[in-house]
Structure 1
């Protein structure tokens, strides 16, 4: 149902009627007394009735004001209760965390056995998307995203800067450097559309620049890693995401030539979550894992 008068004007009147004070309403609404007075005059002009009247030093409701005030108070009260219930349910529920599928599979998943899911304030609800969820619209609470830390309207904390290197199935490109260069030149190179510095890697490799026979672009860096591990070719990928497969013996760096990826992974969230206990718990755990990786 469309309300035929401005909601702010109704809110100003409801607060002023409850306090019987312009100043009290202004303090509650965090505006100036003149702003409250302006809203009241605008409401009275739109309704064509007087709602509040000053008698001496006191503010009194008119007959019309006494009829309108109780319903407005009840209505705004129900709105406040509904918002509080939704907020409390969110704060008591799991932290909804969004990230790239490749990050979830190759960085987070190998560490999840160390995450204290059973502890109070540590529950998670994890979603994966190629493009970040709309945190400002409430699609998720926070994200771990790849980029430069400049997402409008959101706060971001760098977790780590990324590096990239060339990977293949162990033994795919063997022998001396010259032989490996020749193998890579004949290979199919898999590259994620999220990796914008892959040509810089090809140009910088000692003995290069390299110009592979085929370049296949995909929308997921996870697919580049899997294709290389399956022997379909070679892949330029983020070293920190390839590390688990390297440790398992499914991938190997062809030239051990990591370079700066020009971007990093960030913990991203709206300012309203700055003091959220669940976010703080996750942040501390992430940094514990990163310190462990550095020590390793």
Structure 2
């Protein structure tokens, strides 16, 4: 239903009618008294009636003002109840956490058995996307993002800095350093579009630079790791994400040459959630695991 008058004018009148004071209404609405007076004039001009009358130092409602007031109070009360119920649901409900699929599969999943889901304030809803979602739009509450820590209007806490290295299936590249360099130089190199420093790794390799026969760029770091584990090629990947596959014997570092990626994984959230207990619970656990 369309309201044919400005909502701000109605709010100004409702607050003034409740306090019978323009000054106190202005304090409640966090505006100046002149701004409240301006909104009241707009409302009276639109209705063509006088809603408030000053008698000496006192402000009184006219008959028209008395008639309008209870409807506005009921309406704003219902709006406040609706907003509060939604806020309460978000405060008490699961924390919605978004991240890259590669991070979820290769870093978070191996540690989830240690997460205290059963404890109050620790429940999660986990979603994965290849690109960062709009936290301000409410798509998710917080994110674990890969980058330099600078996202406009968002807070970011560093979980860990990333390093990159070259990985292959165990036994794929063996022998001396030169033998391994010759072998992988004939391979298909898989790199993720999120890995922006992979060429620096090749240039810094002792005995290099490493020049692959083919470079295949994909949108998922998980695919690069899978391709290397399947023996399709080799992969420059984030060491911290490859670690679980290395420990399981599915991957091995070809040269043991980790290089700082100049980026990291960050816990990212709106400032409004800074004091949220659910966020603090998640942050403490993530920091423990990162350490």
Please tell me the TM-score bracket, short chain as reference.
over 0.9
Aligned pairs for 1:65-76 (under 5 A) are 65-76=65-76
Task: Tell me the residue number matched to 2:81.
Answer: 81
1:192-234: CA deviations, max 9, x gaps?
A: 0111111111111111112111111111000000110111100
Gaps of 5+ in 2: none
Contact 1:96 1:126 in 2 (8 A): yes
- Give the stretch that moved more between structures: 33-42 or 53-62: 33-42
Q: TM-score, normalised by structure 2?
A: 0.98
Hey, what's the Cα distance between the residues in 1 that align with 2:46 and 2:255? 75
Contact 1:136 1:153 in 2 (8 A): no
Contact 1:98 1:127 in 2 (8 A): yes
Hey, what's the Cα distance between the residues in 2 that align with 1:95 and 1:216? 36
Hey, what's the Cα distance between the residues in 1 that align with 2:256 and 2:43? 72
Task: Tell me the residue number matched to 2:272.
Answer: 272
Q: RMSD value over aligned CA atoms?
A: 1.0
Q: Return the offset for 1:43.
A: 1.8
What secondary structure sits across from 2:145 in the alignment? Answer: strand
1:44-84: CA deviations, max 9, x gaps?
A: 22222211111111111112211211111111111100000
Q: TM-score, normalised by structure 1?
A: 0.96
Q: How many residues in Structure 1 have an aligned counterpart in Structure 2?
A: 291
Task: Tell me the residue number matched to 1:3.
Answer: 3
Hey, what's the Cα distance between the residues in 2 that align with 1:175 and 1:47? 89
Gaps of 5+ in 1: 292-296
Q: Return the offset for 1:4.
A: 2.0
Task: Tell me the residue number matched to 1:59.
Answer: 59
Task: Tell me the residue number matched to 1:285.
Answer: 285
Aligned pairs for 1:238-257 (under 5 A) are 238-257=238-257
What secondary structure sits across from 1:106 in the alignment? Answer: helix
Q: Return the offset for 1:101.
A: 0.5
Aligned pairs for 1:1-296 (under 5 A) are 1-291=1-291
What secondary structure sits across from 2:136 in the alignment? Answer: coil
- Give the stretch that moved more between structures: 101-110 or 37-46: 37-46
Hey, what's the Cα distance between the residues in 1 that align with 2:290 and 2:219? 26
What secondary structure sits across from 1:136 in the alignment? Answer: helix
Contact 1:51 1:64 in 2 (8 A): yes
1:67-121: CA deviations, max 9, x gaps?
A: 2111111111111000000110111111110000000011101111110110111
